[in-house]
């Protein structure tokens, strides 16, 4: 007999990955890894085995290119570029050479050897404490599964998302990028995954299709049955299973409110960021790839306040050369000219080692206090000069500003500037054009730099405060440790006093200060930062509408009064409540 008892409502907290609210029946999508048979290959069959591998690689390449073309047609060139990372996996010489070595060594069938080697790589990626790199492990997993399917002559595992023909919410243990590419937006109107993070490719696709998504709900797929009803709340990262009538009514209202609120924010995005009393506040974008210039334009940012350049290295299998770096920087700068682009030199090392060049990065006990960023560059001058030369050359194609990460004091800044001067002299001698007046600034993200801001300000054209690191070092709270995340408090009086000190010293020296850490993109802190005297804010592009709305809704006089009040308080939570109340009073969904 079918179970006709009313089902109980319960909710599961995950990570908000793509905003929006969806309600519907679910389509459970469970991917299982394929089993690879293990057997010995006779020596006379070895060449044939290698041939089989090459054919499988070629077939995989063709399939990925087909998917890429389909995605380009449906979603556009930016989303299609996701699959470049997949094609790069297939060209990874280390992966292929190691598979052959494994084959030589143990004589097992080639799929077993490839499976062993690719799993070893995937494990190495999974263990890295960097979300972006873990996602690259996901790319490798996806491509490896395809190669194995081709070697084993299979067409794919079980169900396919592209076969979804009923309007459903897809609930999956994981969604690979090729699966995501097969999603038909008219059929899937919500996505939930057990695993994943905000930067997984499936999420990027969901966001670009404006499909509400929640990821990281652990083992929700084990608790659900096909056809169950759920609400996906992509704003708060919650999934509500078997929602009651009351819950549905409440969410119906929330959906309407959010929609009109977002429309209101987006309407303001093309308006100038001027406070009610006439101060213009440049609002810039943080980007990691040249392709993100489209987002910078979509959200009408005043150029780029932080271009994190390490990402071009992190995803590469070898060190990029000057021509490759130059092309990427020039494309970014030229696409946004005359708006400025602040290019930050490499912040590699520490928790962001380059997997493609492991020899350069030692294992460290305390990576966040270790061999990273400017420290690493000043000991690898060839690599540093290659990047500086590329940045300088790009400065001939638009408005470039250069800044160094993790500067700890004046002497280090002097050493970096000496290398920059050598690069300028070299380019001059070669007749290569660059901007002779290129502004050079320092990130302020180490307490020693903040304390000696007066000394640094004399030798900088601007400061950019990296609150992500500055807060972790000031409060001694590891910024990626969940266990102590509740103690990571941007409104700690130590943070406020430090920000004020840096701003005051910079202004005394006549230079401007930007904030480019996550604090800058959270509207709760907008008035506080402006009131403390911060001149510019730089953030991920989707944060721009809310921050701009707030800038336009406040006066500098109110912001200064708020900052003065905050500086007089001593409890971080009280200061937060003060800022939150200020923000909520102006930024209300109605
Ligand atoms: C920061 O530390 O605030 C910052 C912007 O740099 P990153 O997040 O890249 O360390
Ligand atoms: Mg930093």
Higher pLDDT, 3 or 217: 217
Which tokens belong to 276?
A: 């009610």
Catalytic residue among 201, 423, 460, 579: 201
Mutate to test the pocket of ligand 1, among 131, 516, 521 (most ligand atoms within 8 A of CB): 516
Going by alpha carbons, the residue nearest to atom 4 of ligand 1 is: 466
Whether the CB of 308 sits within 6 Å of ligand 1: yes
Give ∠ CA 387-131-495 in degrees, rounded to 5: 80
Collapsing DSSP states into helix, strand and coil, what is residue 558? helix
pLDDT of residue 502: 98
State the closest ligand 1 atom to the C-alpha of 445, by its place in the atom list counted from 1. Answer: 2
121-139 average pLDDT score: 77
The closest ligand to the CA of 471 turns out to be 1
pLDDT of residue 291: 83
Task: Give the full edge-to-edge strand order of the sheet including 213-215.
Answer: 10-13, 238-241, 229-233, 21-29, 168-172, 188-193, 213-215, 15-18
pLDDT band at 123 (very low <50, low <70, confident <90, very high): confident
Mutate to test the pocket of ligand 1, among 284, 287, 308, 514 (most ligand atoms within 8 A of CB): 308
pLDDT of residue 158: 46
How far apart, in whole angstroms, are the C-alpha atoms of residue 296 and residue 195? 29
Its pTM surpasses 0.75: no
Whether the CB of 310 sits within 6 Å of ligand 1: no
pLDDT of residue 156: 45
Q: Ligand 2 centre from 443 Cα, in Å? A: 8
Structural domains of the chain sorted by starting position, each given as residue range(s) with its CATH number in brackets: 10-30+159-245 (3.50.30.10), 43-151 (1.10.274.10), 267-586 (3.20.20.60)
Which tokens belong to 485?
A: 């995340």
**Is 516 annotated in the active site?**
yes
Going by alpha carbons, the residue nearest to atom 10 of ligand 1 is: 469
How far apart, in whole angstroms, are the C-alpha atoms of residue 386 and residue 331? 17
CA atoms within a 13 Å half-sphere pointing along the CA-CB vector of 218: 5
State the closest ligand 1 atom to the C-alpha of 467, by its place in the atom list counted from 1. Answer: 3
Going by their DSSP bridges, the two strands 340-344 and 304-308 should be labelled as parallel
State the closest ligand 1 atom to the C-alpha of 472, by its place in the atom list counted from 1. Answer: 2
Q: Ligand 2 centre from 100 Cα, in Å? A: 40
Q: What is the pLDDT of residues 12-48, one digit of tens each?
A: 998 888 888 999 999 988 877 777 888 988 888 888 8
Please say if the pLDDT value at position 534 is more than 50.
Answer: yes
pLDDT of residue 164: 62
Residue with tokens 């800058």: 520
Question: Which of 273, 216, 308 has the alpha carbon at shortest distance from 14?
Answer: 216
Q: How does the average pLDDT of the chain come out, rounded?
A: 88
Q: Ligand 2 centre from 468 Cα, in Å? A: 6
Please say if the pLDDT value at position 181 is more than 80.
Answer: no
Higher pLDDT, 72 or 461: 461
Going by alpha carbons, the residue nearest to atom 8 of ligand 1 is: 468
**Is 201 annotated in the active site?**
yes
Please say if the pLDDT value at position 374 is more than 60.
Answer: yes
Whether the CB of 467 sits within 6 Å of ligand 1: yes
The closest ligand to the CA of 286 turns out to be 1
Burial of 97 (0-12, 13-18, 19+ CB in 10 A): exposed
State the closest ligand 1 atom to the C-alpha of 466, by its place in the atom list counted from 1. Answer: 3
């Amino acid at each position: 007999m079918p179970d006709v008892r009313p089902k109980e409502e319960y909710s599961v907290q995950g990570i908000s990955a793509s905003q929006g609210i969806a309600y519907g029946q679910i389509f459970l999508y469970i991917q299982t890894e394929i089993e690879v048979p293990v057997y010995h290959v006779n020596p006379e069959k070895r060449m044939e085995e290698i041939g089989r591998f090459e054919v499988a690689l070629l077939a995989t390449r063709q399939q990925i290119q087909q998917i890429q073309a389909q995605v380009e047609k449906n979603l556009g060139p930016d989303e299609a570029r996701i699959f470049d990372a997949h094609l790069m996996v297939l060209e990874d010489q280390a992966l292929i050479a190691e598979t052959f070595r494994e084959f030589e060594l143990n004589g097992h069938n080639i799929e077993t050897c490839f499976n062993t080697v690719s799993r070893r790589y995937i494990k190495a990626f999974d263990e890295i404490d960097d979300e972006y790199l873990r996602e690259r492990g996901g790319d490798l997993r996806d491509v490896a599964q395809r190669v194995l399917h081709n070697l084993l002559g299979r067409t794919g595992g079980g169900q396919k998302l592209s076969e979804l023909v009923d309007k459903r919410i897809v609930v999956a243990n994981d969604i690979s990028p090729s699966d995501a590419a097969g999603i038909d937006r008219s059929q899937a109107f919500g996505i939930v995954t057990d695993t994943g993070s905000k930067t997984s490719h499936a999420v990027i696709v969901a966001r670009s299709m404006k499909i509400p998504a929640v990821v990281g709900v652990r083992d929700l797929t084990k608790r659900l049955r096909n056809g169950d009803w759920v609400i996906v709340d992509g704003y708060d990262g919650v999934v509500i299973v078997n929602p009651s009538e009351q819950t549905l009514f409440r969410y119906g209202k929330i959906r309407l409110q959010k929609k009109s609120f977002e429309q209101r924010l987006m309407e303001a995005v093309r308006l100038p960021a001027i406070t009610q009393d006439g101060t213009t506040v440049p609002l810039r974008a943080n980007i990691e790839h040249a392709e993100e210039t489209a987002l910078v334009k979509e959200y009408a940012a005043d150029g780029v306040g932080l271009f994190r350049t390490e990402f071009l290295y992190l995803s590469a299998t070898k060190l990029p050369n000057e021509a490759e770096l130059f092309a990427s920087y020039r494309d970014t700068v030229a696409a946004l000219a005359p708006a400025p682009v602040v290019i930050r030199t490499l912040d590699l090392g520490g928790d962001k080692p380059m997997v493609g060049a492991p020899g350069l990065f030692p294992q460290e006990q305390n990576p966040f206090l270790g061999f990273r960023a400017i420290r690493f560059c000043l000991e690898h001058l060839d690599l540093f000069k290659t990047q500086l030369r590329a940045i300088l050359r790009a400065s001939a194609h638009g408005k470039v500003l250069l800044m160094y990460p993790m500067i700890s004091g004046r002497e280090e800044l002097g050493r970096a500037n000496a290398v920059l001067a050598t690069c300028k002299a070299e380019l001059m001698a070669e007749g290569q054009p660059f901007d002779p007046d290129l502004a050079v600034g320092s990130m302020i993200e180490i307490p020693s730099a903040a304390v000696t801001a007066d000394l640094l300000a004399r030798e900088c054209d601007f400061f950019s405060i990296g609150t992500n690191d500055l807060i972790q070092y000031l409060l001694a709270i590891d910024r990626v440790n969940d266990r102590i995340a509740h103690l990571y408090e941007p409104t700690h009086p130590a943070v406020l006093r430090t920000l004020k000190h840096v701003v005051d010293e910079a202004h005394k020296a006549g230079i401007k200060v930007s904030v480019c850490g996550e604090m800058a993109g959270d509207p709760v802190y907008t008035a506080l930062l402006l009131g403390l005297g911060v001149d510019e804010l730089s953030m991920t592009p989707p944060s721009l509408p809310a921050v701009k709305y707030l800038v336009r809704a406040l006066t500098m006089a109110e912001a200064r009064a708020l900052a003065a009040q905050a500086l007089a308080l001593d409890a971080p939570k009280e200061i937060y409540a003060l800022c939150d109340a200020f923000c909520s009073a102006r930024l209300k969904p109605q």
